[in-house]
Amino acid sequence: MQAGDNSIAKAQQAAAAQLGARARRDIRSGAWTAHTSGLAPGNVQGNLAILPAAVAGDFLRFCQRNPKPCPLLAVSEPGEFALPELGADIDIRSDVPRYRVWHGGQLVAEPTDIRELWRDDLVTFVLGCSFSFEQALIEAGIPLRHVECGSNVAMYRTNIPTRPAGRFSGPLVVSMRPMVAADAIRAVQVTSRLPQVHGAPVHIGDPALIGVNDIARPDFGDPVEIRPGELPVFWACGVTPQAVVMEAKVDFCITHAPGAMLVTDLLNHQLANN
């Protein structure tokens, strides 16, 4: 039934491309300026970092050396604002609902469009995000408390160093999801198949062992209850590269605003290894 399988996969891909294109059209036109969570569910969404070519080489090496927090989905040529491998019609200058513009590590603007700021030396990095593996966990029947509570995931700076590259260095930032042990074991299996969206957890259990001394006070996001019999499970987090870029105080950079991601045409389940 090879032919049948292929046509189902092609139909799914075509549907994903239509959903992705519609989401980006609404965002591009200004009709959608909110968070992208739940928009084109099933489609891969990406974290965004746009950097001048002068520092893009350092950042690319940083991502290569730290694939768990910085899983690269696409890197553009300098000055190129299309990303055809993520969606035929993507214009990265307009297709994210809200951007953040940084000068020397300081936030200076939050526009909904960056066409006026575009330069010929800008390189776009799109990184995998935890939305994809959270969909896989939910489909595997693993409850995610922050999703049930409608809050942001809890994130923490750790004492785990990243591998530096050029001007970029700093500690690993992790997200934490509490779950019972059987779900933690299943979550390792499910997320191990998804290395392009942070992959397997980096730690399970005692937060102090990774330098997290007050689990009730996350450094980013919202606190979440850990119930008796549950283990905190920690994944490398896409806030890591953002924190590293801020810390490096590069002259100019653009990121997405929190929760306002790039919606691609890829399907989450296409990212899974065998």
- Nearest approach in angstroms of CB 202 to a second copy is 7
Residue closest to 93 by CA, chosen among 259, 210, 264, 256: 256
Closest to 122 in 3D by CA, of 79, 81, 91: 79
By DSSP bridging, strand 171-180 and strand 154-161 are antiparallel
CB of 117 or CB of 188, closer to a second copy = 188
Judged by CB under 8 A, does residue 201 bind a second copy? yes
Cα→Cα distances 251→51, 194, 214, 246, 248, Å: 9, 34, 34, 10, 9
Would you count residue 140 as binding a second copy (CB under 8 A)? no
Q: Applying CB under 8 A, does 176 fall inside the site for a second copy? A: no
Please provide residue 31's backbone torsions phi and psi, each rounded to the nearest 5 degrees.
Answer: -70, -25
Pick one of 30, 161, 166, 205: the residue that binds a second copy (CB under 8 A): 205
Residues 100 and 137: their CA atoms lie apart, in Å, by: 30
Kindly identify the residues of this chain, within the stretch 208-247, that bind a second copy according to CB under 8 A.
209, 229, 231
Q: Which amino acid is at 24?
A: R
Interior angle at CA 138, CA 2 and CA 212, nearest 5:
130
Q: Which of 48, 122, 155, 184 binds a second copy (CB under 8 A)?
A: 184
- Could you tell me if 92 and 81 are in contact, meaning their C-beta atoms sit under 8 angstroms apart? yes
Stretch that binds a second copy, among 76-84, 122-130, 136-144, 204-212 (CB under 8 A): 204-212
Q: Output 3 or 182, the one with its CB closest to a second copy.
A: 182
Which part of the chain contacts a second copy (CB under 8 A), choosing from 1-9, 117-125, 141-149, 201-209?
201-209
Count of beta carbons in the 10 Å neighbourhood of residue 146: 20
Under the criterion CB under 8 A, does residue 72 sit at the interface with a second copy?
A: no
Handedness of CA 244, 249, 250, 256 (dihedral sign): positive
**128 counts as binding a second copy under rule CB under 8 A:** no
Is 53 an interacting residue with respect to a second copy (CB under 8 A)?
Answer: no
181 binds a second copy (CB under 8 A): yes
Nearer to a second copy, 74 or 236 (CB): 236
Report the nearest approach of a second copy to the CB of residue 60 (Å).
26
Query: Contact positions toward a second copy, by CB under 8 A?
Result: 181-182, 184-185, 188-189, 192, 200-206, 209, 229, 231, 274
